């Protein structure tokens, strides 16, 4: 990671030399010579570290520092001055400075202090992650729907039973890995390894050696003995993701392992025994795979000790909006943007979409939307066309097929939250946004497309 450093000093020569020297050390730098410039740079440059002079002409560094910390409370600030005394140093620390530098100082001294500041930032990040993990412990899935509560209940029931094998089933993107991690975290094995093995991602010719390991000279290139993932997970939990993709020839070896927790390394003669709990997951219909001879029936029943079926997102109702809000808050924080709000029409679009990619698709949609549209109020037009049901016809006319559908109109009218004024306003905003997009934001051309005067369009835009 490249750290950004803001130098705030009214001595232009010193400021320039500091930026040059810090740039040579691999940091990104910017400078400011007064309080107003510093505040602007805080917003535009988003520094991790600030070198702040105590006296900035008419401005005072001690008074400026709290303002900078209001913009970014994590800012690591070093106060610099040629007029230092103990009283001033104490005042700087109270104002939020991380440390204090007396001018003139050696560049090596500054480098050491900056490294300490970076270590502090890393420590604070680790603490934040730890606090977040504590806060969300047990809240491994977001939602209030009864189907999800049933899943959570099953997780809490099976987690303490540290040897029970669990088969987690559900469509792609429903959160199977999250459930597996929660079972491990809530189990007596939580302090021991949690090893994830994606059975569909490892090439078939490498899968056996990855799972069971190999002995020296077991095959060409095996220059030394290697432990397999099952052996490395001893005492902990093994999560076999996409178990339905495991090759048939390996299914019999996995079955034997599940029966007695013993295996042989590739090329080995000795039985090895490990104490691991096995969790498996799949988005495939294993019963159909058994009928088609792609999956062993005896392995299925060995895995199917405690099944957990995850519901698709489309069946979870208002959880869609809860998750949308959760992801918006996370992405807004990550990109330092305000948390957007969906209009009622946009919410209806989110609720009626089928979400074939489930929670993973929803998360991707939110991330893409917040990057493309920094607005605080999001309309259906800001959503992907497959969700908003909006499309451009021959690059000009916008049609909403759903709006022309009698059943959809009937559902809206009887929803209890229908507002004709809001509906008309929504359609008007849609046409204005498309007209502006087609005219490259030129108001006169957009007004011509809309059949209104330039001044009328300006009034509508000002009105919002």
pLDDT tens per residue across span 92-113: 888 889 988 888 888 888 999 9
* Total number of domains in the chain: 3
Each residue's pLDDT tens digit, 154-166:
999 999 998 999 9
Question: What domain range includes position 328?
Answer: 312-390
- The length of the chain is 464
pLDDT value at 268 more than 80: yes
* pLDDT over 90 (residue 382): no
CATH number at residue 347: 1.10.8.60
- The three-state DSSP-derived secondary structure of the chain is CCCEEEEECCCHHHHHHHHHHHHHCCCEEEEECCHHHHHHHHHHHCCCEEEEECEECCEEHHHHHHHHHHHCCCCEEEEEECCCCHHHHHHHHHHCCCEEEECCCCHHHHHHHHHHHHHHHHHHHHHHHHHHHHHCCCCCCCCCCHHHHHHHHHHHHHCCCCCCCEEEECCCCCCHHHHHHHHHHCCCCCCCCEEEEECCCCCHHHHHHHHHEECCCCCCCCCCCEECHHHHCCCCEEEEECHHHCCHHHHHHHHHHHHHCEECCECCCCCEECCCEEEEEECCCHHHHHHCCCCCHHHHHHHCCEEEECCCHHHCCCHHHHHHHHHHHHHHHHCCCCCCEECHHHHHHHHHCCCCCHHHHHHHHHHHHHHHCCCCEECHHHCCHHHHCEEEECCCEEEECHHHCHHHHHHHHCCCCCCHHHHHHHHHHHHHHHHHHHCCCCHHHHHHHHCCCHHHHHHHHHHC
Residues 302 and 357 in one domain: no
394 pLDDT above the threshold of 50: no
- Structural domain contains residue 402: no
Nearest to 171 by CA among 329, 427, 355, 409: 355
Given a cut of 60, whether residue 193 has pLDDT beyond it is yes
Q: Which of 275, 291, 280 is nearest to 232 (CA)?
A: 275
Same domain for 241 and 128, yes or no, is no
Domain membership flag for residue 461? no
Domain end position, chosen among 336, 360, 390: 390
Non-local (6+) Cβ contacts of 311 within 8 A are: 145, 147, 148, 151, 170, 174
Q: What is the pLDDT of residue 135?
A: 45
Mean pLDDT over all residues of the chain? 85
Which of 45-49, 297-301, 442-446 has the highest average model confidence (pLDDT)? Answer: 297-301
Tell me what percent of the residues of the chain surpass a pLDDT of 90: 44
451 occurs within a structural domain: no
Query: Does 379 reside within a domain?
Result: yes
Q: Are residues 50 and 192 in the same domain?
A: no
Instruction: Provide the pLDDT confidence category of residue 350 given band limits of 50, 70 and 90.
Output: very high
Asked if 298 and 159 sit in the same domain, the reply is yes
**Is the pLDDT confidence value at 67 over 60?**
yes
What is the predicted pLDDT for the residue at 85? 65
Q: What is the pLDDT of residue 402?
A: 38
Respond yes or no on whether the N-terminal peptide bond of residue 399 is cis (omega within 30° of 0). Answer: no
Domain edge (last residue) among 284, 310, 336: 310
What's the CATH code of the domain at 181?
A: 3.40.50.300
Same domain (yes/no): 160, 296: yes
Task: Compute the average pLDDT of residues 284-290.
Answer: 94
Q: Per the domain annotation, does 164 fall within a domain?
A: yes
- Whether the model clears a pTM of 0.85, i.e. scores above it, the answer is no
53 and 127 share a domain?
yes
């Amino acid at each position: 990671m490249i750290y950004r450093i803001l130098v705030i000093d009214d001595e232009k020569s010193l400021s320039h030399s500091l930026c040059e020297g810090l740039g040579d050390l691999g940091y990104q730098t910017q400078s400011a010579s007064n309080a107003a410039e510093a505040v602007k740079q805080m917003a535009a440059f988003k520094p991790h570290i600030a070198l702040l002079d105590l006296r900035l002409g008419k401005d005072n560094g001690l008074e400026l520092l709290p303002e900078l910390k209001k913009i970014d409370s994590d800012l690591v600030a070093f106060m610099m001055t040629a007029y230092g005394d103990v009283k001033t140093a104490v005042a700087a620390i109270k104002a939020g400075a991380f440390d204090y530098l007396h001018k003139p100082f050696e560049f090596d001294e500054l480098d050491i202090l900056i490294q300490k500041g970076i270590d502090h930032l890393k420590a604070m990040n680790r603490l934040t992650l730890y606090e977040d993990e504590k806060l969300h412990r047990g809240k491994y899935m977001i939602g209030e729907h009864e189907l999800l509560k049933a899943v959570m209940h099953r997780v809490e029931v099976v987690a303490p039973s540290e040897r029970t094998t669990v088969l987690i089933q559900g469509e792609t993107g429903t959160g199977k890995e999250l459930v597996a991690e929660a079972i491990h975290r809530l189990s007596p094995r939580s302090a021991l390894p949690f090893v994830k093995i994606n059975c569909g991602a490892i090439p078939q010719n490498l899968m056996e050696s990855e799972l069971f390991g190999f002995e020296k000279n077991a095959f060409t290139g095996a220059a030394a003995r290697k432990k397999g993932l099952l052996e490395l997970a001893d005492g902990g939990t093994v999560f076999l993701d996409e178990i339905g993709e495991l090759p048939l020839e390996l299914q019999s070896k996995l079955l034997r392992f599940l029966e007695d927790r013993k295996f042989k390394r590739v090329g080995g003669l000795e039985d090895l025994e490990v104490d691991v709990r096995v969790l498996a997951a799949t988005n495939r219909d294993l019963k159909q795979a058994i009928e088609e001879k792609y999956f062993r029936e005896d392995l299925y029943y060995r895995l199917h000790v405690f099944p957990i079926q995850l519901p698709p997102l489309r069946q979870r109702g208002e959880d869609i909006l809860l998750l949308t809000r959760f992801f918006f808050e996370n992405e807004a924080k990550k990109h330092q943007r305000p948390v957007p709000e969906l209009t009622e029409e946009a919410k209806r679009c989110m609720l009626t979409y089928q979400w074939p990619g489930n929670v993973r698709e929803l998360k991707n949609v939110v991330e893409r939307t917040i990057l493309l549209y920094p607005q605080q109020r999001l309309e259906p037009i800001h959503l992907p066309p497959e969700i908003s049901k909006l499309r451009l016809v021959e690059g000009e006319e916008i049609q909403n097929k759903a709006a022309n559908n009698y059943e959809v109109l009937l559902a809206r009218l009887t929803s209890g939250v229908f507002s004709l004024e809001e509906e008309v306003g929504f359609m008007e905003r849609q046409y204005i946004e498309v007209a502006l997009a087609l005219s490259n934001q030129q108001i006169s051309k957009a007004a011509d497309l809309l059949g209104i005067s330039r001044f009328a369009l300006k009034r509508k835009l000002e009105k919002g």
